[in-house]
Structure formats: structure tokens, C-alpha cells
Chains A and B, each alone.
Chain A
Amino acid sequence: MSKNIILYAAILVFGITAPFIFPAFKVQLSILCVLIVLALTWNIQGGEMGYNTFGNILFYGLGMYLCASVQVGMFFPLAEWTESGGEKTFVHTPAQFFQGMAVGLVVAAVVPTIVAGLIGYAILGLRGHYFAICTLGLGVAAGEISGGIEIIGAGQGFTTPPFPDVGGLEARGEFFYLLSFVALVLTFIAVRAIYSTRFKLILNAIRDNEDKAEAMGIQTMKYKIIGWMISAFFCGLAGGIMGGLVGYIDSTDVAFDGREMGVFMVLMAILGGKGTLWGPVIGATVFHIFKEGFWTFFLGWQYVALGVLIVVIVIYFPEGIMGWLREKYPERFGEVVDEADRKAQVELK
């Protein structure tokens, strides 16, 4: 146990000092934090509950739009803001910016949670691939519809409030890094806490055999909805932060980007290992490093690489890194391996 505490402390110290050690990578590190949050929340559905969703992008995009809209709408007329595009007709004072961000993030987390509850009631009764395709449809529909709504910028996009003039670019990077890191820590603590309760066992029961779980007297629908709401909460939060970080929201390219972010979160969780606590974290980190390398050195070919990567991971590596490690070193995962038993198996071969 003490080993774990040292590990967590080391990660925490690294996380806090990272932007000062690698000042050039501040934005990358913030994006990494957001990606890990998304992978962790996807894992609650896809990994633990067995409901493979492409639709968590819905909450991410919703959070992004809500946070920016609240941040603008609290102080200025929203329609005129989006009308003016990137031009600075209205300027937030520092106090207004941070107040708006705080309220915006709360709204960005809470509203998607409620939406998840409502939608979840309707579609969580679907199973397997029907659920997957339905959520895929939801994500794309949200993108198409939000791209037609005038007040949030329609096709031309929504510029989020620029960071106020305190400390310049350095401060902006540090602020957003801190924000995303706090979100990551909160998410990790929450997910870890969930995974040590009966709730996780119920989710696993639903994954393994939903009919039997129901027969055992578990109200599966209730737990499925709660699970999805937890995901939506953190997805919305991550979306709100990402919106401020990117500085520009477009309906299909940034917010409801099913082709990128929507697939990334699935891929990261699978790459790291579904149904494990650390899998999504490792998967997201590896994926982000790989992706940035590709995006930098093979600009233009990144989607080709992404497509090939998805196929390769899914076909040859469906257990992920954690699954592979578990097979290799079962002792480390608390599985008791009988030496005599293993020897006997080796001899049999």
C-alpha cells in the first residue's frame, strides 16, 4: 500500500511541476489531461459496463458550447458576440473572465449530466451494437444541428473569450494547465472511489450478463443511467476546459468532432486496456505522444495513420497494454499463481 502512496505522490508532484519543467509543452500537457479524463470516463461505459458508446462526444461538445456561452452571456449579449466573430467589440475584464469561467464550468458539468440522465433513460435500453450506432447517430446529429443554430455561431464558429491581459501567454498556459490538471485529479479520484465500491461490481455484472444481473434483483436501468451521468459530468467539464484552451469552437471540427475526439476516447481506452483503472491513463499518454509525433511529422497523412492505427489496435491488440501486462506478470495484479501449477502446465506443453 505504501508503494502506491509514493507512486501517487510522485505523479502529483510531477503533475504540478510539469509546466515549469517543460514550459514549451504546457498546451500539450493540458490536452493530455483532457484526453485522460475522456478516456477514463469512456472506460466507465465501454470498459466496466460493456456499453460501447460513441456518444460521449455529445457531452464533451455540449460542455464546450455551454461553458463559452455562459462565460459570454453573463456579461454581454450572446448574439452580438457571435455576430462579431473574432473581433474584440467586447472585452472581458480579468474578474469577469474568471467569474464567467467558474460559473461556465459548473454549468458545463451539470447540464450534460441532466441531459445524460434523460437520454440515458431513452437509449440505455438498447444493447450492443444498436447502442453503439445509436450513440454514433446522436453525436453526429448534435454536430449537424448545432452547426445550424445562429446564436452560437452556426457555421462560422464561436470564438471563446480571450484570456484577459494578466501575465500574457505564460499565464494563460499555466491557468489552463492547472484547470485541466485539477479536472484530471478530480476525475481520477472519483473513478477510483467508484471502482472500490459495490457500484463497480454491479456495472461489471451488467457487462458480463445483463439478464442474469436483472434476475439477481439489480435495477440495471438505474445503475446504467447513473454510470452514464457520472461520465457525462466529467466529459462536460473536460469539454468546457478544452473550449477555453482551443479558443475557438466549431460545431463539427472542434466540439462534436466524432471523427477525432469521439474515436480517440474509445481508442485510448482500448489501447490502454478496457476495464482497468490505469489502462485509460496509460493508453491516453501513449496515444497522445504517438499522435503528436504523427501530426507533426506526417502532416496531412494523420488520418490515414489514424485509420490504420484503429484497425491494427482493434484486430491485433484488443486487450490493450494492461491486458498484455496482466498476461505477462499476473503476480503484479494480485492474481495468485501456484508455482507447481505453472510448472505442470509448462511440462504438459
Chain B
Amino acid sequence: MDFMVFQYPMITVQACLDGILLGILFALIAYGMALQWGVMNIINIAQGDLVILGGYIAYFMYLYGIHPAWGVIIAPIIMFFVGVGIYKLVINKVVDRDLFISILATFGISILFMQLMNFAFGADVVLANSGYGTTFLFDSAVVLPNSKIFSAFVSIVFAIGLVIYMKKSKLGRAIRATAQNARAAKILGVDTEKVYAATFGINAALCGVAGALISITFTIHPYMGLPYTIRSFMIVIVAGLGNLPGVALSGMGLGVFEEFADYILGTEFRIGAVFLLLVLILVYRRFKLSRKREYLK
């Protein structure tokens, strides 16, 4: 254990800034999960693996000499079709079924993706070097890589763009209508099948953006997907479905929590702390609701 955090206030500032920038990325992934959870009522365990796949797209562009930042444009386009493909093959058969069936089916997809990525890209930890340099604040006491600032900025742009798209466009209206009442939407002539496919595709595209940013900012590895799924699930249940400012805030909160857990408990307990936090949040909500004789739905 290391209590540097309390002795040097600048480390606290560093951890907070890192955590917020990281949390914005988490919030982007969680936004995708909230979207498809709300519309299709499916919990996608493969969410994190879609993120990592997006990361590998950016990484390969970097390997072939294209600047990885272009991955932010290319990865979502590819991932959109990957998402639609997954929907057509698997998800459309589990949409109306028991939620556990969808959890298990996407768990299978997750294992499949993990292993395929392991074959295709190798089991090494990789990162795409953006060459953006670093920013020093407060007499070099706080070090911020510019790539982190870039990734947070891009995430915000994409999130705002999507919110506007969902509000204004025809497809966005159809998606929102389906989320409210799929049957009524069907009666009024919305092709819900197409809406579901588009929703899953958009979710995958968001994952692609986030993945590309993660490959620039942090590192990627074929088996790193599940923690991202758990983080986004946690953010969604804390914020609630359809509460976008809540998603952004709880994402940042989670990021800050993780950075502090990293400093205080040590890096080896970082993922463990995330998963334990999930359990604690669920238990807290359960006890809070059980006083009113209710439960999480």
C-alpha cells in the first residue's frame, strides 16, 4: 500500500484529471450500452470486446503508417457493419427472449471474439503511438499526455453528435419510438427489425470510436474486454437508462475512483476494485430499495 496520495497533493490533482479524462471514455462506451439496453432490452457482455476490436483497427492503421487518429473515423464505420452482422446472426434471435439468454449468448460472442482476436493479432499488449506529446501543468507536477485530452475531446464530440442525431433525424426518432413501445411503433409503420439492427450497429460504432481512442491513449490486449463491459454496465445502473448527464457524471466518477484505487491499493488490485465496486453498488441499491419493498428492475 502506498499513501503517496495524501502526502503529495499534486498526485491527487493528477489522479483526478486522469480519472476524469478516462471517465469520459467510459461514459462513451456506457452510452452505447444504455442505448441498446433501453431499445432492445439486451445486456451485451461482448461490449468490451467490440471496444478492443475497434482498438485493433486503429492499431493496424498505425502499423501500416496511417496516423491512428484516423481510426476514430474508420473504426466506427467498420464496427457498424460488424455490429449489424452480429445482430443479424445472433442477437435478433434473442431479442424477445429471457434476459439471461441474451447475457449468455453475448457471453459466448465475447469468448469467441476474445479468442479470434488472440489468433489474429497475438496476445501482446500493444498501443498505437499518436506522437502527440505531453502537457505539463503546475511546474511539471502534473503530467497529461495530449492523447488523453484528444480522446476526451473526441468522445465529447461524438456523444453530442449522437444526441443531436437521435433528436433530429428520422432514424433517431424511430429508435426512440421503439424504445418507448416497440409494439406501437410497429403498428405505426416503424420497421423495428431495421431499428434494432441500426441500434446495435450504432452501439458497435460507438465502441469502435472508444476502442480507437483507447488504443491511442492506453494499451489494448485481446483479453481486456470484460472490464470495459462491467464498467459500462456499472455506469448505466448508477445513472439509470436514458439519463445522459448522469452517464457522463458517473463515468467520470468511476474514472476518478479507479485512479485512486490504483494509487492507494496498487495496480494489481485495480480491476478487482472495479468489480468489487459493481457488487457494492448493486448491494447498496438493493438494500435501499428493499426498505420500500421494491427491487431493481
Contacts and interface: CB of A to CB of B under 8 A. Distances in A.
B108 A125 contact: no
A148 B272 contact: yes
Interface string A293-304: 000000011011
Contact of A310 (B107, B119, B282, B296): B107
Interface residues of A, number: 40
Contacts of A270: 104
Interface string A120-136: 00110111111011101
A266 B109 contact: no
B141 interface: no
B290 interface: yes
Interface in A228-287: 259, 263, 266, 270
A103 interface: no
A129 B94 contact: no
B108 A144 contact: no
B287 A125 contact: yes
A318 B104 CA distance: 11
B103 interface: yes
B164 interface: no
A307 B230 contact: no
A148 B268 CA distance: 6
Contacts of A315: 90, 93-94, 101, 105
B108 A141 contact: no
A52 B100 contact: yes
Interface string B172-186: 000000000000000
Nearest to B89: A311
A211 to B, nearest CB: 9
Interface string B78-116: 000000000000100110010111011101111111111
A151 interface: no
A311 B46 CA distance: 12
Interface string B259-292: 0000000101101100110110011001100100
A134 B112 contact: no
A136 B226 CA distance: 10
Contacts of B115: 301, 303-304, 307
A186 interface: no
A126 B286 contact: yes
B110 to A, nearest CB: 8
The CB with the most chain A CB atoms within 10 A, among B103, B107, B276, is that of B107
Interface in B127-163: none
Interface string B47-83: 0000000000000000000000000000000000000
Nearest to A318: B101
B296 A314 contact: no
B233 interface: yes
Nearest to A50: B100
A141 B234 CA distance: 14
Contact of A303 (B111, B237, B282): B111
Chain A interface mostly: helix
A310 B103 CA distance: 11
Given A133-B278, A304-B112, A314-B101, A127 B295 contact: yes
Contacts of A140: 226, 230, 271-272, 275
A137 B268 contact: no
A311 B287 CA distance: 34
A155 B267 CA distance: 13
B43 interface: yes
B112 A308 contact: yes
A306 interface: yes
Contacts of B97: 318
A309 interface: yes
B176 to A, nearest CB: 23
Interface in A70-110: none
A266 B101 CA distance: 11
Nearest to A302: B115
A145 interface: yes
Contacts of B110: 307
Contacts of A123: 279, 282-283, 286
B279 A134 contact: yes
B258 to A, nearest CB: 13
Contact of B103 (A126, A129, A304, A309): A129
Given A52-B100, A122-B286, A122-B287, 19 more contacts: A52-B103, A123-B286, A125-B287, A126-B295, A127-B295, A127-B296, A129-B43, A130-B296, A132-B103, A133-B233, A137-B278, A141-B278, A141-B279, A148-B266, A263-B111, A307-B115, A314-B94, A314-B101, A315-B105
22 contacts: A52-B100, A129-B43, A130-B237, A130-B282, A132-B100, A132-B103, A133-B282, A138-B275, A140-B271, A141-B275, A141-B276, A141-B279, A144-B268, A155-B268, A263-B107, A266-B104, A307-B113, A307-B115, A311-B108, A315-B101, A315-B105, A318-B97
